[in-house]
């Protein structure tokens, strides 16, 4: 942090000071050990830097700050399913970076691949052919279902959805889409247009036109929208759905939903887009969420866990027939960093680990046990918990109101268990640990949850239910 006069809007560090300030942080990055004074300074500098240079709004919402005003928890080092803050306090990671740590934090095989590639060539010229991009595309073409075969690589889930939107529009020559209420697809303008929650959309309206929203899981509603669009000459380019809605709280659709919308898309010439950014690579107990219903989408979006919890990496994948429209002019969609060798090395290693350790199988088994425990707790604390559900290790607990949810989330945090949920959004809390989380840690999570629920139950004699 520079000085106090930041509100004047001038740059206050001269060149020498800037070199010293950046060197100070380089020394922190390289330090093998830090003294208690250094740690304290890092903590105060971090809060100041967020406040003056990043976004002070975070300081009001993060439980890691709110719960520890004088000594906020700073994420520092992690391995597998645990991480430590700067003071050395250990947490069980039951959030998994909202789905990125399916293989755990710093999986040695994935770290090694990235490190080896880093020592050879980190990014690419984008002129010569790069072997890892081809290798990762081959692996994805082989593991994705049906005739999905060609991939394009980018860095975030939202980029994958943007690519899917453009591909569906190019292939069909149509512009309209069907999406789901409370569905989450990213926050750049195209993907935000498909996102079904008013709070993220309203300030940015108008977004892309021609987006029709239906209740998630309601195949009749999808068919009706396809029919109406067809009859009025609008035509639907694509129907986009998450196999299991993640951000909405691990909502599983009825078993006939995906097969029925597959059939309807074929009937009306619309492309079926599976947004597997959160569900892909084993999270729900199968390699891909759509595998639960043996459905092959026309376009699949992957992200989060694809980078192995080490590099940002996402992809959209489609069939040879559809990909043809990108081949006439392969530069019609491009990205400077998309498919860089470091990210591809991580992706190749992530696929290797997912298959070698049978992460989908582990997610199915561990998820079944965890869900059974949560259901048991719901029966015991039904004043507090409204709904539970999910698939594999994408599980949700819906509390009767946001306040109860936040009390539970912060109670768990005090007990060293990290789950999703913030001050503004804690009614539905997700549990998304690494798919290889040791059973012993899962038992500790349930122990901490039971203790927290008991505490919140005792401390809250009157409970108001939030409006639906
Ligand atoms: C299903 C789904 N799609 C897209 C996204 C957007 O991904 P990103 O935040 O990497 O842009 C997310 C993020 O949570 C997601 O869950």
Between strands 271-275 and 90-93, the pairing is: unpaired
* Ligand 1 atom with minimal separation from the 183 CA: 1
Residue 432 Cβ < 6 Å to ligand 1: no
- Give residue 157 CA to ligand 1 midpoint distance, Å: 4
The token duo for 161 is 């959805």
Looking at 314-358, list the stretches that DSSP marks H as alpha helix, in order from N- to C-terminal side: 320-327, 341-356
Q: Whose CA is nearest to atom 7 of ligand 1?
A: 157
Ligand 1 pocket, mutate which of 98, 102, 158, 274 (most atoms under 8 A from CB): 158
- Give CA separation, 121 vs 30, 72, 118, 126, 182, in Å: 21, 37, 6, 12, 41
* Ligand 1 atom with minimal separation from the 279 CA: 1
Residue 93 Cβ < 6 Å to ligand 1: no
- Average pLDDT, integer, range 214-224: 98
Give the torsion through C-alpha atoms of 217, 221, 224, 226, to 10 deg: -50
Banded pLDDT at 9 (limits 50, 70, 90)? low
Between strands 385-391 and 394-399, the pairing is: antiparallel
Look up residue 105 and give its DSSP letter: B
Q: Whose CA is nearest to atom 8 of ligand 1?
A: 157
* Ligand 1 atom with minimal separation from the 161 CA: 4
Residue 182 Cβ < 6 Å to ligand 1: no
Residue 401, CB half-sphere, CA atoms under 13 Å: how many?
Answer: 11
- The contacts of residue 98 (CB under 8 Å, 6+ apart) are 246, 278, 304, 420, 430, 432
Residue 428, helix vs strand vs coil: strand
**pLDDT tens, residue by residue, 247-265:** 999 999 999 999 999 999 9
Q: Whose CA is nearest to atom 3 of ligand 1?
A: 185
**pLDDT over 50 at 223, yes or no:** yes
pLDDT of residue 394: 97
**pLDDT tens, residue by residue, 19-52:** 999 999 999 999 999 999 999 999 999 999 999 9
Banded pLDDT at 70 (limits 50, 70, 90)? low
**pLDDT tens, residue by residue, 131-169:** 999 999 999 999 999 999 999 999 999 999 999 999 999
Burial class, 218, CB count within 10 angstroms (exposed 0-12 / middle 13-18 / buried 19+): middle
Residue 183 Cβ < 6 Å to ligand 1: no
Helix pair 157-172, 320-327: axis angle to 10 deg = 90
Fold of 108-356: 3.40.640
Q: Whose CA is nearest to atom 4 of ligand 1?
A: 185
* Ligand 1 atom with minimal separation from the 245 CA: 1
Strand partners, 289: none
Phi then psi dihedrals of residue 383, to 5 deg: -65, -30
Look up residue 77 and give its DSSP letter: E
pLDDT of residue 420: 83
- Give residue 354 CA to ligand 1 midpoint distance, Å: 20
Give the span between the Cα atoms of 385 and 407, in whole angstroms: 12
Percentage of the residues of the chain whose pLDDT score is greater than 70: 94
* Ligand 1 atom with minimal separation from the 160 CA: 4
Percentage of the residues of the chain whose pLDDT score is greater than 90: 88
Residue 100, CB half-sphere, CA atoms under 13 Å: how many?
Answer: 16
Give the span between the Cα atoms of 383 and 374, in whole angstroms: 14
CA-nearest of 422, 381, 403, 394 to 249 is 394
- Give residue 184 CA to ligand 1 midpoint distance, Å: 7
**pLDDT over 80 at 371, yes or no:** yes
Phi then psi dihedrals of residue 344, to 5 deg: -65, -35
* Ligand 1 atom with minimal separation from the 303 CA: 10
**pLDDT over 70 at 423, yes or no:** no
Strand partners, 316: 152, 301
Give the span between the Cα atoms of 115 and 385, in whole angstroms: 44
Residue 341 Cβ < 6 Å to ligand 1: no
Average the pLDDT over each of 64-68, 132-136, 285-289 and give the range with the smallest value.
Answer: 64-68
Which secondary structure element, helix H or strand E, spans residue 141, and what is its range?
helix 131-143
Name the residue with higher pLDDT: 65 or 148.
Answer: 148
Give pTM, 2 decimals. 0.95
**pLDDT over 80 at 201, yes or no:** yes
pLDDT of residue 12: 87
* Ligand 1 atom with minimal separation from the 304 CA: 10
Give the span between the Cα atoms of 419 and 430, in whole angstroms: 7
**pLDDT tens, residue by residue, 85-98:** 999 999 999 999 99
Ligand 1 pocket, mutate which of 163, 179, 303, 343 (most atoms under 8 A from CB): 303
Residue 293 Cβ < 6 Å to ligand 1: no
Boundaries of every domain in the chain: 108-356
- Average pLDDT, integer, range 357-380: 98
Give the span between the Cα atoms of 79 and 206, in whole angstroms: 43
Contact present, 158 and 329 (Cβ < 8 Å): no
Strand partners, 179: 213
> From start to end of 258-377, where are the E strands?
271-275, 299-302, 314-318
| Mean model confidence pLDDT for the chain | 94
Residue 193, helix vs strand vs coil: helix
pLDDT of residue 306: 98
**pLDDT over 70 at 410, yes or no:** yes
- Average pLDDT, integer, range 281-303: 98
Banded pLDDT at 422 (limits 50, 70, 90)? low
pLDDT of residue 145: 98
């Amino acid at each position: 942090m520079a000085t106090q006069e930041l509100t004047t809007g001038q740059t206050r560090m001269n060149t020498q000071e800037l070199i010293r300030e950046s060197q100070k942080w380089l020394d922190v990055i390289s330090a093998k050990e830090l003294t208690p004074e250094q740690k304290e300074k890092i903590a105060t500098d971090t809060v100041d830097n967020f406040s003056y240079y990043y976004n002070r709004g975070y300081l009001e919402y993060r439980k890691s700050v709110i719960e520890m005003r004088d000594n906020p928890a700073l994420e520092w080092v992690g391995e597998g399913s645990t991480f430590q803050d700067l003071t050395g306090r250990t947490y069980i990671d039951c959030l998994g970076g909202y789905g990125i740590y399916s293989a755990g934090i710093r999986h040695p095989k994935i770290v090694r691949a990235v490190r080896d590639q880093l020592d050879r060539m980190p990014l690419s010229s984008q002129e010569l052919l790069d072997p890892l991009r081809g290798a990762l595309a081959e692996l994805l073409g082989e593991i994705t279902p049906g005739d999905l075969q060609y991939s394009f690589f980018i860095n975030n889930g939202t980029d994958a959805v943007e690519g899917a939107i453009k591909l569906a529009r190019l292939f069909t020559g149509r512009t309209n889409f069907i999406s789901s209420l409370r569905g989450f697809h990213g926050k750049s303008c195209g993907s935000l247009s498909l996102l079904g929650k008013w709070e993220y959309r309203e300030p940015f309206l108008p977004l892309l036109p021609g987006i029709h929203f239906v209740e998630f899981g309601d195949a009749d509603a999808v068919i009706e929208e396809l029919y109406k669009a067809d009859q009025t000459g609008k035509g639907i380019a694509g129907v986009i759905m998450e196999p299991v809605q993640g951000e909405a709280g691990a909502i599983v659709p009825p078993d006939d939903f995906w097969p029925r919308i597959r059939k309807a898309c074929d009937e009306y010439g619309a492309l079926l887009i599976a947004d597997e950014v959160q569900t892909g690579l084993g999270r729900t107990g199968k390699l891909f969420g759509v595998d639960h219903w043996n459905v092959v989408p026309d376009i699949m979006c992957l992200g989060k866990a694809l980078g192995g919890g080490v590099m940002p990496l996402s992809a959209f994948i489609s069939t040879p027939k559809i990909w043809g429209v990108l081949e006439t002019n392969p530069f019609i969609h491009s990205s400077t960093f998309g498919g860089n060798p470091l990210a591809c090395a991580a992706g190749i290693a992530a696929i290797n680990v997912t298959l070698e350790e049978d992460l989908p199988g582990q997610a199915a088994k561990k998820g079944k046990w965890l869900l059974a425990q949560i259901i048991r707790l719901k029966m015991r604390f039904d004043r507090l918990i409204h709904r539970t559900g999910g698939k594999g290790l994408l599980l949700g607990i819906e509390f009767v109101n946001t306040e109860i949810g936040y009390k539970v989330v912060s109670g768990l945090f005090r007990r060293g268990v990290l789950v999703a949920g913030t001050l503004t959004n804690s009614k539905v809390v997700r549990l998304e640990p690494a798919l290889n989380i040791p059973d012993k840690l899962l038992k500790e999570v349930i122990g901490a949850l039971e203790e927290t629920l008991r505490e919140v139950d005792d401390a809250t004699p009157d409970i108001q239910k939030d409006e639906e």
